[in-house]
Structure 1
Amino acid sequence: MKITLPTMAMSALALSLSLAGCDRTENDGTRKDTAQAESATEVPAATTGEATNGSQQQSFDAQSAQMIEELWQLFPSWAVREGYYAVADQLQIPNDAYREQVLEFARRHREQFANIDTETLDANDRSDLALIQNFLNRLEWQLTEFQSHLWNPAEYNVSHPFALILNTEYAPLDERLRTFSERLQKVPAYYDAAEKTLQKPASPQLILAIQQNEGALKVFGEEAEEKLASSGLSEEEKQLFQERLENARKAIQEYITYLQTRHAELEESQDYKDFRIGEELYEQKFEYEIQIGMTGKELYEKALAEKDKLHDKMEELAGELWPKYFPDQQPPEDRLEKIGQVLEKLSEHHATKETFKAEVEKQIPELVAFVKEKDLLTLDEDKPLVVRTTPPYMRGFSVASINAPGPYDKGANTYYNVMPIEEFSDDRADSLLKEYNKYLMQILNIHEAIPGHYTQLIYANKSPSLIKSILGNGAMVEGWAVYTEQMMLEAGYGDFSPELWLMYYKWRLRVVINTILDYEIQVKGIDEQRALDLMVRQGFQQKAEAMGKWRRATLSQVQLTSYYAGYADILALREEMKEKLGDDFDLKAFHEKFLSYGNAPVPVIRELMVAELQED
C-alpha cells in the first residue's frame, strides 16, 4: 500500500499526493471537524488564561475546521484524492509564490494552535493536536530543509486528480467535464513552473518522472475525448474543452522533452544530485513520518537482530520440508543455501503471466469467508473493491498497491492495482511470478486487501476524527497490513501448512530487509551490488523483485521502514492489551477498537486505548 495508500510526503506540492495515501462512516454521529463547510470562520487565537475548558474545546474545534478548509484551498489535488470535490476545478501552480503561501499557512496555524491549552482537551483531541503540530512542522521542513521540489521532477504530474474527476461518478458527467475543463486551463502554467523550479535533479527521480508523465498523456487521450463527445455540453463548451485538452497534452509533452534533454546532459556529465539524503535529513524525515518514539538508526539495529531470528525459524522449517521435496539429496551445510533451495522449489507453483490478475481476484472472496468464519473483524461488504491493471501514470514503483477513497466520498471504489505482468518479457515475468507464487500471492492479497489495506482504510473513513483520517501515519497503515498477515496465519489460514509459513517468513524477512535496505542506501551509501546481495542471498528474493526494490529504494526515503516499524508497534500493543485484560481480552474487539482511531500513529492509538481502559 502500498497505499498511494497510499495510500501514500515530499515537498509541499508532493504532500498533496503522499498524505492522501495509501490513500479512511458511515458514522451514526457527525464528525467533529466540519471541514466541508462552504466558508471558513475567522477564529481568534485563545489563551489559557481567558478561556474555560469549554471555550478552549470550541476554539480547538473551530481552528481545526478552519485549517482543513484552508488546506483544501491550498492543496486542491490532495482534496480531490480525499473525495472533497468543491475545489476540483482548481490546480495549484508550484511556483515560489505558492510555496510562500504554504509556508505562511504552516507558520500561522502553528502559532494559533500553540495557544491551545492541551490540558483542557480530551485524549482524542490532544492526539489530533499532536498530529496537526507534526504536520505543520513537517510542511515547513519539507520546503525549507528537504527541498525535494528542487531535485525531484517526479513530484510534478497532474494526471491522478484528472483521472479521478473523469472516472469517479460523484456528479453527472457534464458537470465533471466542466470541472475537468476548468482545471485544464492551468496545466501549461503548472509545467512551466515545474521547469523553472527544478535545479539539479537526481537520476532515479528523473527517469521516473519521464516514465510517469508519458503515462499521464493517456489520461488526456481517447477516453476523455470519447466522454466529451457523448456529453451534453454545448458545441462551444466542447470546442473550448478540446482546445484546453490539446494545450495540456502539449505542456506535458514539452515537460517530457525538457526532462529527456536534462537526462541526456546529466548522463554525459554524471552531474546528477545524489539521491541519497544522508543521516541528518534521514533522521529528521524518519521522525516526522514514522512517529514511533525511536530513531531510524535504532529501528535499523532492531531489524538487523530480527533478520537473524527469522533465518533461525526458516532454517527449522526448511529442515522439516527438505525430505519431502528432496528425498534423495542431502541438504547443504550452509543454512542460507538450504533455505533458498526449498523456497525455490516451492516457488515453481505460480500463476502464468496471463492469469496472474485473475488469480488475485479469485482469492479475495476466500479471504472474506475466512475472516467471517473465524470472527476476526467485521467487514463492510458494501464498499466496492475493484482489481485493475495499474494505470500507466502510476507504474514504475511497486507490483501491487491500493487506491482508496477519502473520507468525503466513502462510497467510491477502492482500486487494487496490479502491474501488467502479461506485458513483461518472459524472463522478467517468470522471475516475478516465482516471487509472487501461489503462497506469496495469498500473503500479498491479505496485505493489500482482506483484512489489510482495503479493510483498514474503510474503518479509517468511519473514524469520528477527520484529522486522524487525512493526516494519516504511514507506519500505522502499512504496519496494520503486515500485522494482518501474521494474524491470519495464527488464526489457521492455510491450515498451518509449513510451506505457507516458510513463505510467510520469507515475506516478513522482506519487511525487515526493507528497513535495513533503506537505511543502508540512504545513510551508509551502499551500492546496487551490496543491496542485491542483501535481498537475493540473505532475503531469498527473486532477482526481478530485488531489482524493482532497489529502484524503489532509490526513489523514496524512509517509507520502506514503515512496514516493520508499524508492525512491531501493533504486535507489542496487542500483547500489552492481552496482559492488561487477561481473560477479558477479545481479538476481534481489539482489532475493531484499534482501527476505530483512523490512521493515527500507533503510539497515539496506544495512549487512547490505555486511557479508555483506565476510565473503565
Structure 2
Amino acid sequence: MRRPFLSTLLLVTFLLSPGPVAHGQRVSADGGGQTFNYVADQYFSDVYFHFGPTNGTANGLHQYDTQLEDYSAGNIQRQVAALHAYEKKVEGIDPSALDASVAADRQILLNSIRSTLLTLEVIRPWEKNPDNYSSGITSAAFVIMERPYAPADVRLKALVEREKQMPQALQEARKNLKNPPHIYTEIALEQIGGDVSFFQNDVPSAFTDATDAGTKAAFAKSNAAVIEALQSYGAWLKSDLLPRSNGDFKFGAETFAKKLSYDEMVDTPLDRLLEIAYADLHKNQAEFARVAKEVDPSKTPQEVLAELATIHPAPDKLLSTFNDTFASLIEFINTHHIITIPSKVEPTLEETPPFERATTSASMDPPGPFETHSTKAYFNVTLPEKDWTPEHIAEHMAEFNVGTIISTSVHEAYPGHYIQFLWTPQFPSTVRKVLGANTNIEGWAHYTEQMMLDQGYGQPGTGAKDEREAKLIRLGQIQDALLRDARFVNSIKLHTGQFTFDQAVNFFVTDGYQSHSVGLVETKRGTADATYLYYTLGKLEIMKLRADMMKKEGAAFNLQTFHDNFMRQGFAPIKVVRKAMLHDDSPVL
C-alpha cells in the first residue's frame, strides 16, 4: 500500500509539494543496472517523495517532516511534467542490458509512473474527491505523531511547520474541486468530525512529553488554525459543495483496465475477470452451505450466519481478543513450518485513526522501510463510535465474530501483513521496498486466511476449543472470502456502470453474506478504491503459483521454502514473482 498496509491515503500520489522538477540529463543503456539504480534513486528523491512528503515521513525519511503536499493545481502540473520526464528516462534504459531482477524493477517503476499519470491526468481525484484534502492533512499529522522516532520536541517542531501549511491546503481544495461525485462529498463530511476531533484531542495528547515552551506555544497556534480551517471546510462542504456534487465516480472500462495493468500487471479482459470472480464466489457459497449444515442441519446457511454474527466479544474487549490470538498463531506457524518469522516482536493493537474509520475495519500500520529509530508496528481496529445506535453497534461487531476474529488476525498479523513487513529488510531493492502491487500485499494476506486453516489451524487445541467452534472459525474464513469475492465483482460492475451504488450494497448482503452496515462501508470504499478486487485476484494468483511450483518440484516441494522465497521477492506483482520462481512467462491466472 509504498507503505503497504495502512491506507492508500498515505500515498497521496496525486497531491504534491513544492520544489524542483526532475533533472534533465540523458541516460544511456550503458552501465545497465548501475544506470537504472541511479535513475530510480533520482526519481524517488525528485518526484515520489518530493511531491509526497507525507509518504516520505511514513517511509522513515524524516528530512520531509516539515513539508506538506502542495495541493495547488499549478504544482500538480509540475508533478505531471516531472513524471513525464522520468517516464522517458526509464523508457530509455534498455531492459535487455539489465539482469532479470533489475529489468523487473524497471518495469515496476515504469508502471508506477504511468499509473500516477493516469491518476493525475485521467482519473483526477484532485478535482473530484474532497476527502483527499481533509484526510490528507490529517494523515500528514498522524505520521509524525504516531511513533516516537525522535524526541517529542523535535517531532512537535516539525509538526508545527507542517500544520502551518494545512489551512492553505484546504483553500486549494476549494479552488480545485469541480463537480465531485455526491458520495465522495458525503464521505468527506462523514469523516470531517473525526478529523477535527483528531486535532482537538489526539494530536495534543500525543505530545504531552514536549518541554520546549516556544514550540508548545507555536503548536497551540498552528493547531488551533488547523481546527478552524477544518471546521470551515466542513461547513463549506455541506453548504456549498454537496448541493453541486453531481459528478460520476465511475472509472469506465478502459481506465479501469489500464490501472489494473499498471498496478498489478494483470491484463486479463474484464469480462473474463468477472467470470473468475463469480466462479470463486459460487465455490465459497457452496462451501459455506456445506459447513453450515455440519454446524446445525436444522438451520439454513443464512440462519447459521445470523447466529455466527452474534458470537463476538464485547466492544471494549475487542483489542484484547485480537491480542490473545497471537500466541497460538505464532506457535502453529513455527511448529508446522509455515514460514520463517524474522522477529519475536509482536505488533501493538490500537484503535483505527479517525480519518480511516469510515472505510476501514482493520489494518496493519508498520514503520516505513527506512525507519531506524521507531520500529513498532500497529494493528488498527475500528471500534464502535459512542453515538452509534445499538443496532449499528451490533451490525459492526458482527464483522468481528468468532471466525472473522481469527481470519483478521491471520490476515493483518500472522502470517499476513505483519510477517511480510518483517521480511522487508531482505527485499532485493529500494523499488521492491517502496512500490508494491496490492495483488501481492493484500493477495498474500488474504491467501494466508485459507492456507492456515487448510494446514490445520483453527482445530481443537490450535485456536478452537471444540469441533463446533472449529466449524464456526471456518465459516468466518469463508465469510471473509465472500466479502473479497463481492469486492471483486463490485469493483468491475460499479466502475463499468453495470451496478448502481445501491445494487452494489445489496450484492454485499445477498451474495457476500455481509451485514447492510458492512455493505454500505464496502461500497463507499469501492467508489474510490476502484481496483479493490486485488484481494481475491492476488489470492488466486498465489494459489496458482503454489500449484505450479508443486507440479514442477513434485516431492521436493516444501511449503515453508515456497513462502520464504515468495517473501524474498518483495512487494512485486505476482507476474514478476512467478518469473523469478518458475523461470517462465506462464499465465498468472
Asked whether the two chains share a fold, i.e. TM above 0.5, the reply is yes
Aligned to 1:415: 378
CA distance in 1, matches of 2:547, 2:207: 56
Instruction: Tell me which of the two structures has the higher relative contact order, counting C-alpha pairs closer than 8 angstroms and 6 or more residues apart.
Output: 1
TM-score by length of 1: 0.86
Decide whether the 8 Å contact of 2:437 with 2:572 is kept in 1: yes
Deviation at 1:150, TM superposition (A): 0.6
CA contact (8 A) 2:16 2:51 kept: no
Match of 1:59 in 2: 35
Residue pairs, 1:330-369, within 5 angstroms: 338-369=300-331
Instruction: Tell me, yes or no, if structure 1 residue 521 matches structure 2 residue 483.
Output: no
Change beyond 3 A, Cα 1:9–1:110: farther
Closer/same/farther in 2, CA of residues 421 and 234 from structure 1, 3 Å limit: closer
1:602 positional shift = 0.7
In the TM superposition, residue 466 of structure 1 has moved relative to its aligned partner by 1.1
Q: What secondary structure is seen at the aligned counterpart in 2 of 1:421? A: coil
- 1:273 aligned partner, one-letter code: G
CA contact (8 A) 2:404 2:476 kept: yes
**CA deviation after TM superposition for structure 1 residue 578, in Å:** 0.9
The equivalences for 1:468-487 within 5 A come to 468-487=432-451
Q: Which residue of 2 aligns with 1:578?
A: 550
Counterpart in 1 of 2:462?
Answer: none
| 2:483 pairs with one of 487, 495, 510 | 510
Call closer, same or farther: CA 1:532–1:189 in 2, change over 3 Å: closer
Judging changes above 3 Å, is the alpha-carbon distance between structure 1 residues 182 and 529 closer, same or farther for their aligned structure 2 residues?
closer
Distance 1:231 1:282, change over 3 A: same
Deviations 1:249-275 (A, max 9, x none): 222222222112125533xxxx51122
* Cα gap change, 1:178 to 1:528, in 2 (>3 Å): closer
One-letter amino acid matched to 2:112? F
Q: How far apart, in 2, do the equivalents of 1:605 and 1:576 lie?
A: 13
**Taking structure 1 as reference, are residues 522 and 46 closer, same or farther at Cα in structure 2, changes over 3 Å only?**
closer
Aligned equivalents of 1:225, 1:504: Cα separation in 2: 39
Determine whether 1:200 maps to 2:162.
no
Where do 1:13-52 residues align within 5 Å? Answer: 13-14=13-14, 44-48=25-29, 51=30
C-alpha deviations, 1:531-577, integer Å up to 9, x for none? 34422222322232223223322343112x01011000000001111
Task: Please state if 1:96 is matched with 2:73.
Answer: yes
- The aligned counterpart of 2:464 is none
Q: Partner of 1:376: helix, strand, or coil?
A: coil
Amino acid of the structure 2 residue aligned with 1:132: L
Distance 1:4 1:312, change over 3 A: same
Alignment pair present for 1:433 and 2:390: no
Cross-structure match for 1:152: 129
Deviations 1:394-428 (A, max 9, x none): 21002111222111116522111111126332212
Matches within 5 A, 1:458-469: 458-469=422-433
The alignment partner of 1:494 has SS state of: coil
Taking structure 2 as the reference length, what is the TM-score of the superposition? 0.90
1:166 aligns with 2:140: no
Verify the 8 A CA contact 1:43 1:63 in the aligned structure 2. Answer: no
Change beyond 3 A, Cα 1:608–1:16: farther
Q: Is 2:504 the counterpart of 1:535?
A: no
Distance in 2, matches of 1:284 and 1:530, equals 25
Q: In percent, how many aligned pairs have the same letter?
A: 23
* Alignment correspondent of 1:587: 559
CA pair 175-434 structure 1, distance change in 2 beyond 3 A: closer
Change (3 A) 1:255 1:454: same
- Are the aligned partners of 2:334 and 2:340 in contact in 1 as well (CA < 8 Å)? yes
- Is 1:179–2:158 an aligned residue pair? yes
**One-letter identity of the residue aligned with 1:412:** T
Give the Å deviation of 1:231. 2.8
Letter in 1 for 2:503: R
State whether residues 162 and 219 of structure 1, in contact with CA within 8 Å, keep that contact through their aligned partners in structure 2.
no
Q: Which amino acid aligns with 1:178?
A: K
Which amino acid in 1 is paired with 2:487? Answer: N
Residue matched to 2:463: none
**Aligned residues of 1:367 and 1:450 also touching (Cα < 8 A):** yes
Q: Return the match for 2:200 from 221, 226, 233.
A: 221
Distance 1:191 1:384 in 2: 38
Amino acid at match of 2:473: L
